[in-house]
Amino acid sequence: MKNGRVLITDDERSLLEILDQFLSKKGYTVSCADCAEEAVELIDRDEFDVALIDLKLPDRSGIDIVRHLRDKQPRTRCIIMTAYASVESSIEALRLNTFDYVRKPFDLVKIGEVVDAAYGYMMLQDQNSRIIDKLEKANKRLEKRKNDLSRKIMRTNEELARANESLKNHVTRLKMLYQMGRDISSDENWSDALDRFLMALCKYLDAEGAALLLFSDSGKTLNVRTTYQLEEEFLTSTLETLRDAHGRDLTPSEIFSLESYDGERIFSCLEMRRKWRENIIPLIYKGRWLGFLLVRKVYHSRLSYLSDYHFLNTIQTILSEEVANAVTISKLRNLKNFNETILNNINSGVLTTDRDGRIIFLNNRARDLVPDSLEQLHFDDLFVNPFGSGSLFEHLIGSDKPNGSVEVVLSKGDFSVPVRLNTSVVELDDYHGKTLIAIFDDLTEQKRMEEELRRADRLRSLGELSAGVAHEIRNPLTGIATTAQVLREKLADEKDKIKYLTVILDEINRLDGIIKNLLLFAKPQTPNPTKGSISEVLNEVVALLSEKALEHRVRVSIENTLEDDQCIIDRGQIKQVVLNIALNGIEACNEGGNVAIVLGEGEEPSFIRVMVEDSGRGIPAELEDRLYNPFFTTKSNGTGLGLSISRKIVEAHGGRLYHESVEGKGTKFFVEIPRKMAAAVSGNVSSQ
């Protein structure tokens, strides 16, 4: 059943009634008008869904009603009914957007369908407009939401940008703090690290300048450690102010303003009421005053200061720790350097190993003794185990006694030296385990001296024995000589016999010479130093050699490279030494050989050196050890006393006699003696 409202306008009453009944039956609420005027009245009074309008009415055209309806009730669907319609009226009806056009006469079913369709169409349109309405409202809500949302997004974006900015700030801070921590405590060059820190701090805080003022080790004096963009004059007065305030126990541990100090009180920055510029950040670590960080930045109020407050507080904590660390590290570094300097300057070799015996430290002296590089060196690679074939390191580290001393041979490739090895086993901690500290001394010189002593001892007994024998021989020899001389006088006429006596006397002379040498060797005369030119002495030697040189056809030369050849020596004894050596040189040469005597500076300062070089046969290596022994000779008529007596004389002068020889090429003997004999320096010296 429909309940739409229908207006029927027709001047035919019967038709009105039929339609009224028919449509009412269909469920419509029907209003009828038999003229246009009545229809207009009804339209003005009620609302209609569908209007059936006869085009030809007695008072007016149905088109007028359509127009009226369109003005008053635009949603009403109009259906035009007519028996004869003009083309114009039809066009006009269409133009006014009438729903349908029904020709009279019509059947009721058809008109019922048209009314239903109009009503249905109207309802549909109603529904549509409701939906559109709803849609529009929904759309508006959506639009509003969209606007709200974009406002929110904008706000969130702004917040995000702010958060980003503050994050960036925090990251910069963290980076700076991290760098500060890392740099200050690890950087070898602390000053550079501090410079970088002050610069970064000022940049970050937008401060005008900064300085780090530190107390000395004793905590008594306050000094500028490093500064950035602050004038010297200002720093000097700041130091004075701070020293004064600190001396009076007025400096608080809070960050304070330097300007607030009036000689009696200091205000922390949080207490400040007016503008200030010099901010002092006290640096204290574990109750110990380290110094102050001075930051020059203008704060107009406590509020403006609060934005930096937390950061400055963090700086205060971290910088205090870092400065304390750096001070400790630099003290440790100094201590380490000091220890290393000591270790490197002692005359013994020092080495330490790790738990496995690998060498981890060698001092300078040890490096001198160990020619190779440190890498991969093991303790056992260096020292020959005197206890057997096993590892010396294991032996020492496993010993019950923590300290040991043993004589071993330090050997590295072809190189070997006897050393005294003093070892200590130290257990530093669980991680490092037991390590070995070894101190060793080269015994080469000591061994040489021991050998020398033994030799001197042997020589002394030999000398004593020789002196006794020489003495005993001399008496009978004098008897033989005197008797031979008497006989020669008596047999002056018997020339053939005198010949034999002369041989006897010559041999006695030779024997006497040997005895003299023996006595000289056994009891050498103490040198009698006199001042004079040593080249003169050498010239005398050359003169004495001339006959012998001629005999052997050997050329003897002399060269003096000394600027000043004045010496205080026993000239007679030194002449004998050079003579002995040069004679040996001539004898060692073949015909046409050379013996050169060269006078020059000694290896040690204030020593002179006489080198006697020959181009002779050289000395075989196997004879080297015995060369200076008394009675060692390779000559048929030699005494073997020349070199031993010479060495004694040279040593009595405080010098040394040594040689270098290449077999088949020649030999160089070196006489090195002090320019001024030590014994002569204090005593009286007679001048030549």
CB of 526 to ligand ADP, least distance (A): 22
Size of the site for ligand ADP (CB under 6 A): 21
CA dihedral 464, 469, 471, 477 (to 10 degrees): -160
Q: Which is nearer to ligand ADP, 568 or 595 (CB)?
A: 595
CB of 672 to ligand ADP, least distance (A): 17
CB of 652 to ligand ADP, least distance (A): 17
Q: Which is nearer to ligand ADP, 353 or 644 (CB)?
A: 644
Residues numbered 441-480 forming contacts with ligand ADP, rule: CB under 6 A? none
Q: Which is nearer to ligand ADP, 417 or 588 (CB)?
A: 588
Q: Which is nearer to ligand ADP, 189 or 637 (CB)?
A: 637
Within the chain, how many helices (H) and strands (E) appear? 17, 24
CB of 335 to ligand ADP, least distance (A): 57
CB of 669 to ligand ADP, least distance (A): 7
Q: Which is nearer to ligand ADP, 176 or 522 (CB)?
A: 522
CB of 406 to ligand ADP, least distance (A): 39
Q: Angle, to 10 degrees, between the axis of helix 87-95 and the axis of helix 62-72?
A: 10
Residues numbered 567-586 forming contacts with ligand ADP, rule: CB under 6 A? 580, 584-585
Contact present, 78 and 96 (Cβ < 8 Å): yes
| b (16+ CB within 10 A) / e for 225-250 | bbbbebeeeebeebbebbbebbeeee
CB of 533 to ligand ADP, least distance (A): 26
CB of 459 to ligand ADP, least distance (A): 13
- What are residue 410's DSSP bridge partners? 383, 417
Q: Distance between CA atoms of 31 and 20, rounded to whole angstroms? A: 8
Q: Which is nearer to ligand ADP, 378 or 656 (CB)?
A: 656
CB of 627 to ligand ADP, least distance (A): 5
Q: Which residue has the tokens 């001024």?
A: 676
Positive or negative: CA dihedral 309, 314, 315, 321? positive
Q: Is the peptide bond before 105 cis (omega within 30 degrees of 0)?
A: yes
Cβ–Cβ contacts within 10 Å for residue 84, how many? 9
CB of 556 to ligand ADP, least distance (A): 13
**Mode of pairing for the β-strands spanning 666-674 and 656-662:** antiparallel
Q: Which is nearer to ligand ADP, 353 or 646 (CB)?
A: 646
Say whether residue 588 binds ligand ADP (CB under 6 A): yes
Q: Distance between CA atoms of 313 and 256, rounded to whole angstroms? A: 12
- Of the residues 92, 424, 633, 651, which one makes contact with ligand ADP according to CB under 6 A: 633
Residue 175, amino acid: K
Q: Which is nearer to ligand ADP, 483 or 590 (CB)?
A: 590
Q: Distance between CA atoms of 614 and 609, rounded to whole angstroms? A: 16
CB of 501 to ligand ADP, least distance (A): 27
- Of the residues 95, 182, 331, 635, which one makes contact with ligand ADP according to CB under 6 A: 635
Q: Which is nearer to ligand ADP, 520 or 619 (CB)?
A: 619
**Which residue, 290, 260, 264, 301, is CA-closest to 278?**
260
Residues numbered 591-630 forming contacts with ligand ADP, rule: CB under 6 A? 614, 616-617, 619, 627
Contact present, 365 and 341 (Cβ < 8 Å): no
- Of the residues 23, 611, 643, 679, which one makes contact with ligand ADP according to CB under 6 A: 643
Say whether residue 651 binds ligand ADP (CB under 6 A): no
- Residue 433 φ/ψ region, left for φ over 0, alpha for ψ in the -120 to 50 degree band, beta for the rest: left
Q: Which is nearer to ligand ADP, 39 or 643 (CB)?
A: 643
- Of the residues 226, 227, 320, 667, which one makes contact with ligand ADP according to CB under 6 A: 667
Say whether residue 214 binds ligand ADP (CB under 6 A): no
Burial class (CB in 10 A: 0-12, 13-18, 19+), 79: buried
**Which residue, 597, 556, 580, is CA-closest to 649?**
580
**Mode of pairing for the β-strands spanning 349-353 and 359-362:** antiparallel
Stretch that binds ligand ADP, among 269-277, 297-305, 601-609, 632-640 (CB under 6 A): 632-640
**Which residue, 671, 635, 628, is CA-closest to 537?**
671
Q: Which is nearer to ligand ADP, 98 or 646 (CB)?
A: 646
CB of 592 to ligand ADP, least distance (A): 16
- Of the residues 638, 660, 681, 688, which one makes contact with ligand ADP according to CB under 6 A: 638
The residue nearest ligand ADP at its CB is 642
CB of 651 to ligand ADP, least distance (A): 15
Q: Distance between CA atoms of 409 and 569, rounded to whole angstroms? A: 41
Q: Which is nearer to ligand ADP, 299 or 670 (CB)?
A: 670
CB of 640 to ligand ADP, least distance (A): 5
Q: Which residue has the tokens 């001396």?
A: 247
Q: Which is nearer to ligand ADP, 581 or 680 (CB)?
A: 581
Residue 425, amino acid: V
Q: How many CA atoms lie within 13 A of 232 on its CB side?
A: 0
Stretch that binds ligand ADP, among 68-76, 170-178, 354-362, 637-645 (CB under 6 A): 637-645
Q: Distance between CA atoms of 356 and 338, rounded to whole angstroms? A: 28
Q: Distance between CA atoms of 236 and 213, rounded to whole angstroms? A: 11
Q: Which residues bind ligand ADP (CB under 6 A)?
A: 580, 584-585, 588, 614, 616-617, 619, 627, 632-635, 638-644, 667
